[in-house]
């Protein structure tokens, strides 16, 4: 989701910019660069995932003046790269997407929160909770993390956008969104389907590329 900078107070954009810079700095600091260098092909995954998200986001709908909706795809990126690299690749894609739409840099931080940080974090938490079930069924990962993660990401973005718009003084938009809440359900299913399809395909044919998938845990006996 992209919200034009003129719709938000400066203090919100600045606060989110600081948050973005701090989280990205921590992601750079603690990302497993050694593992990335050990398998040079993974560089292609990072850059390819960034480009794939950018292309997906460019297929956006300008629902209202200054508000763009699009599919996220961050669930797949998070499961493929891990949370830290998903944050970094998603941040690069957000910057490119915002500039291509010729929006002010002030819109980048808000788009980053709603398009990258929230869905990536929710997707990572879903994977963590699934491991708590201690189920070795492969479909628990593919459908739970892929399809379920995509569903919950949309819901989390919607729940994050409402208080953000309220703080920005866009009360009419908030009331309109609450009155048309079934639209969120319509967005949840295709997002879940897209991510579920991508995660399932990669897990079945290229399990070694999916960072959050433990093939020894799900595929070996015992």
Q: What percentage of the chain reaches a pLDDT higher than 90?
A: 56
The CATH number covering residue 77 comes to 1.10.1760.20
Q: Is residue 92 scored above 80 in pLDDT?
A: yes
- Chain centroid to CA 182: how far? 21
At 169, give phi and psi (nearest 5°): 85, 10
Instruction: Mark 165-200 as b/e (b = at least 16 C-beta within 10 Å).
Output: beebebeebbeebeeeeeeeeebbeebbebbbebbb
At 63, give phi and psi (nearest 5°): -60, -45
pLDDT band at 210 (very low <50, low <70, confident <90, very high): confident
In the chain, the number of structural domains is: 1
Q: Is residue 25 scored above 80 in pLDDT?
A: yes
pLDDT of residue 163: 93
**pLDDT (tens digit per residue) in 109-137:** 999 999 999 999 999 999 988 888 777 77
Q: Is residue 40 scored above 80 in pLDDT?
A: no
Would you say 147 and 196 are in contact if contact means Cβ atoms under 8 Å apart? yes
pLDDT of residue 3: 86
Query: In the predicted model, what is the mean pLDDT of residues 59-88?
Result: 89
pLDDT band at 217 (very low <50, low <70, confident <90, very high): low
pLDDT band at 169 (very low <50, low <70, confident <90, very high): confident
Domain span at residue 148? 2-219
Q: Is residue 151 scored above 70 in pLDDT?
A: yes
pLDDT of residue 6: 84
pLDDT of residue 212: 84
For residue 64, list its beta bridge partners: 67
Q: What mean pLDDT is reported for the chain?
A: 89
Q: Is residue 222 scored above 60 in pLDDT?
A: no
């Amino acid at each position: 989701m992209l919200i034009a900078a003129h719709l938000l107070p400066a203090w919100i954009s600045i606060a989110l910019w600081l948050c973005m810079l701090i989280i990205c700095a921590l992601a750079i600091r603690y990302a497993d660069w050694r593992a990335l260098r050990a398998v040079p092909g993974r560089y292609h995954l990072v850059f390819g995932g960034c480009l794939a998200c950018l292309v997906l986001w460019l297929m956006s709908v300008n629902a209202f003046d200054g508000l763009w909706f699009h599919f996220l795809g961050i669930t797949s990126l998070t499961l493929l790269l891990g949370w830290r690299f998903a944050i970094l690749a998603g941040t690069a894609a957000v910057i490119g997407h915002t500039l291509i739409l010729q929006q002010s840099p002030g819109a980048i931080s808000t788009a980053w929160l709603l398009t990258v940080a929230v869905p990536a974090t929710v997707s990572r938490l879903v994977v963590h909770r699934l491991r708590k079930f201690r189920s070795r069924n492969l479909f628990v990962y593919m459908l739970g993390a892929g399809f379920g993660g995509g569903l919950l990401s949309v819901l989390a973005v919607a729940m994050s956008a409402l208080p953000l718009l309220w703080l920005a003084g866009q009360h009419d938009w908030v009331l309109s969104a609450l009155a048309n809440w079934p639209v969120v359900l319509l967005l949840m299913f295709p997002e879940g389907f897209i991510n579920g399809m991508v995660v399932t395909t990669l897990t079945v044919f290229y399990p070694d590329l999916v960072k959050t998938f433990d093939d020894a845990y799900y595929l070996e006996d015992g």
